[in-house]
Amino acid sequence: MNSKRTSKTSRRAAAGFKLALAMTSMIDMVFLLLVFFVCTIRFERGEEVFRLDLPVRAETADPLALRDAPVQVIIGMRDGERCEIEVRAEGVRQSAENFEALAVVMQQYRRTPGSNDGLFETSHPILIVPAPGSTWQDTVDGFNAAVRAGYANIGFAESKS
């Protein structure tokens, strides 16, 4: 069987058998695709998300039930690198120089489960209150500080303007 195959191959070679592939059009297409992707490519940083739970209006909720007064995080106007931030709650009024300090302050007020230190549970409502003229960046920074401090129930106040 092997000898048969060898003789067939040699016969084809003797007859000048050629295998040709037209590469020109394929290369044209490859270059077209390359130009298309080079022109349309856009490098973007990966987007990530913060979760914000909106209050659900449940019909069965007791309208007379007492709700925790939220801890307010007042975000003031930015003056260059400086942004005045204040944490306000019942019996609490503390300012922070920046958002790093805000995260530390809020962490100090957080009650660790099973211990008596701290004032607020992680489920305690936190309200971000940006001053008129505050940017969305500062607002999200305030939100981020509260998330970093371990709170899970964070919302935004209505704008006053």
Residue 114 beta carbon to other proteins: minimum distance, rounded to whole angstroms: 19
Closer Cβ to other proteins, 87 or 138, answer by number = 138
Closer Cβ to other proteins, 71 or 142, answer by number = 142
Residue 90 beta carbon to other proteins: minimum distance, rounded to whole angstroms: 25
Residue 152 beta carbon to other proteins: minimum distance, rounded to whole angstroms: 7
* Radius of gyration of the chain, Cα coordinates, nearest whole angstrom: 33
* Rounded Cα distance, 43 and 78, in Å: 31
Q: For residue 134, what are its two tokens?
A: 């505050």
Say if CB 74 and CB 81 are below 8 A apart.
no
Residue 154 beta carbon to other proteins: minimum distance, rounded to whole angstroms: 9
Closer Cβ to other proteins, 43 or 116, answer by number = 43
User: What phi and psi values does residue 147 have, to the nearest 5 degrees?
Assistant: -65, -45
Binding residues vs other proteins (CB under 8 A):
12, 15-22, 25-26, 29, 32-33, 36, 40, 45-57, 99-100, 103, 130, 132-141, 143-144, 147-148, 150, 152, 156, 158-161
* Rounded Cα distance, 145 and 154, in Å: 11
* Rounded Cα distance, 128 and 139, in Å: 7
